[in-house]
Amino acid sequence: MVKVNGDFLDIAGKTLLEYLESTNYDTRRIAIEKNGEILPKEKYGKTKLEDGDIIEIVSFVGGG
Amino acid sequence: MTDDKLILGGHEFNSRFILGSGKYSLNLIEAAVRDAGAEIITLAVRRANTQKGENILDYIPKGITLLPNTSGARNADEAVRIARLARELGCGDFVKIEIMRDSKYLLPDNYETVKATEILAKEGFVVMPYMYPDLNIARDLVSAGAACVMPLAAPIGSNKGLATKEFIQILIDEIPLPVIVDAGIGKPSEACEAMEMGAAAIMANTALATAGNLPLMASAMKLAIEAGRKAYLAKPGRVLSRGASASDPLTGFLRE
């Protein structure tokens, strides 16, 4: 299982890009951290998700 | 007045009103930016939502500098992490450091803020630290490479005005960086007063978000900030400790 933004998902084996394409994330507007390290956009396609990976996907929201 | 610029990390701004984008409709952002005359707008970083298709960046006019904050950070490490993610989002090097350990008063943790400032300034960020107005910490922030200091006027979202006025004045007098009054300003008169004191800019969010008419309040704040800035540059006249001083000639009276 891979933990994405707090939820456990059965997506081990896919690349990060494959996972993202199966969702509604706007890839122009997100940044991703894998196991605490920032993952540059160009690596999404080469990054294979493994059991135990922790992924954080963030974007901007309103704030002060 | 056109050469009276606000300079942050080598970037020049004409507007001295930094706008928040929290707690109001995305549809109001464009009008708020326009009526505030703002050139900088703050944002927060949160887990992305797959449900809604709309992103705040689509609502911010082009040419506006984005100032991500590190809200949600409870210590320097978390603030650094959020700042790096914000930069990865691809909207520049500005960051407002905001580190809080309690959710009741939302007061900034000055010590952790200095630590985060030092790390992020070395990484090339334009660091704008939100802080409790303490002279020693402000000096530490200067040494750590901050681009300005952002003392609070009153607790975040309180609209209580310049509760820390005396201490903000000390920072203005002693700190060789822009002093941007952040948090607590609720009314244009308070923004104007801070600018008259020599504040370099005002950051406001809740004052607008809780106003009955947001764009109108944005416009009122803008005018107040400009008035206060001009008054500061004009150098306000002296105050008599007692008595009066006639404004009219004391000769030529129509008597005797």
pLDDT at B237: 94
Q: How confident is the model over B140-199, as pLDDT tens digits? A: 999 999 999 999 999 999 999 999 999 999 999 999 999 999 999 999 999 999 999 999
A62–B51: do the CB atoms touch at under 8 Å?
no
Domains of chain B plus CATH, in order, are 6-234 (3.20.20.70)
Interface residue of A25, A27, A35, A61 to substitute, partner B, most B CBs within 10 Å: A61
pLDDT at B53: 65
Choose the catalytic residue: B5, B62, B96, B230: B96
pLDDT at B148: 98
Q: How confident is the model over B80-112, as pLDDT tens digits? A: 999 999 999 988 999 999 999 988 999 999 999
pLDDT at B256: 75
pLDDT at A27: 86
Per CB-CB distance under 8 Å, the chain B contacts of A29 are 48, 55, 57, 89
Give the domain extent around A24: 2-59
Q: Any idea what the CATH number is for the domain that residue A28 is in? A: 3.10.20.30
pLDDT at B80: 97
Burial A23-55 (b: 16+ CB within 10 A, else e): eebbeebbbbbbeeeebeeeebeebebeeebeb
pLDDT at B54: 83
Beta bridge partners of A8: A3
Q: With beta carbons less than 8 A apart as the criterion, state whether B196 and B231 touch.
A: yes
Q: Which pLDDT band, with edges at 50, 70 and 90, does B253 fall under?
A: very high
Q: What number of CA atoms fall less than 13 Å from residue B23's CA on the CB side?
A: 14
Question: So what's the ipTM on this one?
Answer: 0.94
Mean pLDDT of chain B: 95
Tokens 């006019």 locate to B61
Asked about B115 being catalytic, the answer comes back as no
Q: Which two tokens stand for residue A51?
A: 């059991």
Which segments in chain A show pLDDT lower than 50? none
Domain count, chain A: 1
Of A29, A57, A62, the CB nearest to B47: A57
What distance in Å separates the CA atoms of residue B173 and residue B250, rounded to the nearest whole number?
A: 38
Structural domain includes residue A45: yes
CA distances from B238 to B51, B225, B232, B235, B241 (A): 59, 21, 13, 9, 9
Structural domain includes residue A18: yes
Q: How confident is the model over B35-50, as pLDDT tens digits? A: 999 999 999 999 998 7
B51–A64: do the CB atoms touch at under 8 Å?
no
pLDDT at B44: 97
Angle between helices B135-144 and B165-174 (to 10 degrees): 40
Is a pLDDT exceeding 70 seen at residue B52?
no
Tokens 């933990």 locate to A3
pLDDT at B1: 54
Structural domain includes residue A64: no
Q: Which pLDDT band, with edges at 50, 70 and 90, does B221 fall under?
A: very high
Torsion over CA: A12, A15, A16, A22 (sign): negative
Number of residue pairs across A and B with CB atoms under 8 Å? Answer: 96
Structural domain includes residue A19: yes
Name the residue in chain B with its Cα closest to that of A31. Answer: B89
